Amino acid sequence: MAESDPPSTHDPIRWVSTRDAARKLGITTRTLYRLIDDGQVPAHKFGRVIRLKDADIDAFIASSKIQPGTLSHLYATGLDDAAEE
């Protein structure tokens, strides 16, 4: 690096394979490909190889956080009351 070059303020990009990304997310690679194809997870194709930025995976995880009180449609409210009788 020459003295006139500014210091790098960016961390180097950490590229992750689809296999490692799927493991990190706890899903199958098939599900990951679906998320990529739906535009939910950004990915890059270099020739025949698909890679993801580790930072993009972390951002997807953060954006997938469930807000409290949003899952009531997944459990029945009347069944618990009937079981107690």
Amino acid at 17: S
b/e per residue, 12-40, with b = 16+ CB within 10 A?
Answer: eeeebebeebbebbeeeeeebeebbeeee
pLDDT of residue 11: 76
In the CATH hierarchy, which fold is given to the domain comprising 13-62? Multidrug-efflux Transporter Regulator; Chain: A; Domain 2 (1.10.1660)
pLDDT of residue 66: 93
> What pTM does this model have?
0.72
3 falls in which pLDDT band (50, 70, 90)? low
pLDDT tens digits for range 6-38 = 666 677 999 999 999 999 999 999 999 999 999
Domain extents in the chain? 13-62
85 falls in which pLDDT band (50, 70, 90)? low
d(CA 37, CA 26): 18
On average, the pLDDT of the chain sits at: 88
